[in-house]
Amino acid sequence: EDQVTQSPEALRLQEGESSSLNCSYTVSGLRGLFWYRQDPGKGPEFLFTLYSAGEEKEKERLKATLTKKESFLHITAPKPEDSATYLCAVQARGTYKYIFGTGTRLKVLA
């Protein structure tokens, strides 16, 4: 069964303290892996798409990487405005379904 697991569930960082969020997936052939940011009560906001192992994407303080079994979202020198829930989703080949993980709630303290 296709599955996405994110860890940790919650993370508290001091401003400037870099860290990584993990997304482990089990799918029968990966079509794409997607990262989103979600603020409370709002719709998820698209961040990155990764398609193949070894691929990396960067945007401001965020960098996403992909291996054959997991993806990492690295946050460098985070700021309080980076506080949000970060969601990972995968789409398997042969299906149009997207499977979302339950997310990592990030809190960055000033």
Which chain residues interact with other proteins by CB under 8 A? 31-32, 34, 36, 41-46, 49, 87, 89, 91, 95-103
CB of 14 or CB of 96, closer to other proteins: 96
Contacts of 36 (CB under 8 A, 6+ apart): 44, 45, 46, 47, 86, 87, 88, 89
CB of 32 or CB of 61, closer to other proteins: 32
CB of 31 or CB of 61, closer to other proteins: 31
φ and ψ at residue 25, rounded to 5 degrees = -135, 150
